[in-house]
Amino acid sequence: MFKKFFYLLFVVLLVVNVSAQEVDKFDRSGGYARVEALGSNPFIVDPTNLTVNPAYAALYTNFLWGDIGSAAAAANDGVGQFAGLNFKLNKEITLGAILSRSDFNMNSISQLDPGGLVAGFNANVPGAGIIPLDNNFEILGSLNAGNMTFGLGIAYAASSMESKPAVGSGPKNSASQIGVNAGLLGKLTPDATLDVGVSLVLPSVSYTPAGGSEAKASQTFIAVDARVFYKMTSKMSIVPLVSFMTVSGKYEVAGTSTDIPSVMNLGVGFGINYKAGDLLIAGGPSLVMQSQTTPAVANSSPELKDSKLIFPNWNLGAEWQFTDWLIGRLGYSAHTESITNQSVASATTKDEMTFTGFKKGDVTVGVGLRFGNFALDATVNDDIIRQGLNNIGGGTPTLAYVSASYGF
């Protein structure tokens, strides 16, 4: 369905007063390929923002958008493909939908089974055979109320299997996920714009063997993402941001309830968004704290806590418009992290190891092409630049990731 459904995508970036990334015309480029090419940049305004904050639907009205994705390693299909469509019903209301797959790239209610609940349940409950979730459907909408715009999104996906023998009962299983998010986009002051999105994702699975009792598991994901664009000058805004996520869950097997390891992530960042003519420079450092707590098991192991402190985490990007139809992009991302891992030493004691890790600096290159209302945005395979003349007949993929859109 996805393979041929969608080769058009666009982001009509209506950067009015609600956005601190000011432009004097519609910016007809965007999507995951653009964000990735700009160093996985959280300090820019892009249509991908509406996957976390549905209030952005008020900016991206009347457009078809999505990802053609990246090359698949073992299948004749793209990785990360999805399709979305928004319609402006009237001056106040915009409605839209997103159809995504199990390989959706972004953290939002469009992402299926983010904690790997199905795979974990199948590995721990013999014979469960839960069918992994796919083809997630999300509907979203926004309401423009003057200086404030509100958004709401709801997503759902499910799978099931039931065996019905001629005599007796057979096994059955099911999996489902419901996601809800809400967003706010608007003016705090004439110079400060607030962007807040809150998400709730609830995956669950169940399995009943033939003649046996039901086993089930569930998780709860709660996430908050907020940032402020504060206009310092007509060209530059500072962008503080904060993100928070918590994950918890449990197994219920044979009448016994067991907690799934819980996760907590907290991130804060501070960047700039500088727009001068056809040049955009955005980026900055951030700090991220992550932890995972594995509950104690009586007479077996104590509570274990793994943690990670990422600082500095750099996301930098620059974008400039060469011509009316061609946009160039450069990005850089890197981080240093301090990691603490705990392991079982005995039923009541634990060992601990702390060490430094790195995400090596990664330069990204991207292009944006505009043809009327159609836009194609891509992250370029940087080997193309290094190989030079060897590209002639060399067979190296040119584009690493592709997004597309069409405004109407």
pLDDT digits (tens, 9 = 90+) for 162-215: 999 988 889 999 999 999 999 999 999 999 999 999 999 999 999 999 988 999
- pLDDT at residue number 394: 63
Q: What is the mean pLDDT of residues 53-79?
A: 84
From residue 57, give the alpha-carbon distance in Å to each of 84, 86, 369.
11, 7, 23
Q: What is the mean pLDDT of residues 299-311?
A: 96
pLDDT digits (tens, 9 = 90+) for 136-173: 999 999 999 989 999 999 999 999 999 999 888 899 99
pLDDT digits (tens, 9 = 90+) for 284-302: 999 999 999 999 998 999 9
Number of domains within the chain:
1
**Burial label, 305 (beta-carbon count in 10 A; 0-12, 13-18, 19+):** middle
Which of 25-34, 128-137, 267-276 has the lowest average pLDDT? 25-34
- pLDDT band for position 25 (cuts 50, 70, 90): very low
Q: Which residue segment(s) compose the domain that 192 sits in?
A: 2-407
- pLDDT at residue number 71: 73
In whole angstroms, what is the distance from residue 207 CA to residue 121 CA? 9
From residue 207, give the alpha-carbon distance in Å to each of 168, 250, 252, 278.
17, 14, 11, 56
Rg (CA), the chain: 23
Kindly provide the b/e burial profile for residues 121-137, where b requires at least 16 CB atoms within 10 angstroms of the residue's own CB: bbeebeebebeebeebe
> Please, how many CA atoms are within 13 Å of residue 180, restricted to the half-sphere of its CB?
2
Residue 384 phi/psi, 5° resolution? -60, -40
| pLDDT surpasses 50 at 9 | no
Q: What is the 3-state secondary structure (H, E, C) of the chain?
A: CHHHHCCCCCCCECCCCCCCCCCCCCECCCCHHHHHHCCCCCCCCCHHHHHCCHHHHHCCCCEEEEEEEEECCCCCCEECCEEEEEEECCCCEEEEEEEECCCCCCCCCCCCCCCCHHHHHHHHCCCCCCCCCCCEEEEEEEEEECCEEEEEEEEEEEEEEECCCCCCCCCEEEEEEEEEEEEEEEEEECCEEEEEEEEEEEEEEEEECCCCCCEEEEEEEEEEEEEEEEECCCCEEEEEEEEEEEEEEEEEECCEEEEEEEEEEEEEEEEEEEEECCEEEEEEEEEEEEEEEECCECCCECCEEEEEEEEEEEEEEEEEECCCCEEEEEEEEEEEEEEEEEEECCCCCEEEEEEEEEEEEEEEEEEEEEECCEEEEEEECCHHHHHHHHHCCCCCCCEEEEEEEEEC
| pLDDT surpasses 80 at 22 | no
Cα angle value 394/397/403 (rounded, 5°) = 160
Q: What is the mean pLDDT of residues 26-44?
A: 88
- pLDDT at residue number 388: 67
Write down the mean pLDDT value for the chain.
89
- pLDDT at residue number 4: 38
pLDDT digits (tens, 9 = 90+) for 81-129: 999 999 999 999 999 999 999 999 899 999 999 999 999 999 999 999 9
In whole angstroms, what is the distance from residue 48 CA to residue 60 CA? 10
- pLDDT at residue number 393: 61
- pLDDT band for position 386 (cuts 50, 70, 90): confident
- pLDDT at residue number 312: 96
In whole angstroms, what is the distance from residue 160 CA to residue 156 CA? 14
- pLDDT at residue number 211: 84
**Burial label, 168 (beta-carbon count in 10 A; 0-12, 13-18, 19+):** exposed
Residue positions counted in the chain: 408
**Reported pTM:** 0.89
- pLDDT at residue number 120: 95
pLDDT digits (tens, 9 = 90+) for 216-262: 999 999 999 999 999 999 999 999 999 999 999 999 998 889 999 99
- pLDDT at residue number 264: 98
- pLDDT at residue number 28: 54
- pLDDT at residue number 75: 53
| pLDDT surpasses 90 at 12 | no
How much of the chain, in percent, has pLDDT values that exceed 90? Answer: 80
Chain CA centroid to CA 93, Å: 25
**Closest by Cα among 350, 317, 358 to 334:** 358
- pLDDT at residue number 390: 62
| pLDDT surpasses 60 at 18 | no
In whole angstroms, what is the distance from residue 310 CA to residue 336 CA? 6
- pLDDT at residue number 77: 73
Q: What is the mean pLDDT of residues 357-382?
A: 93
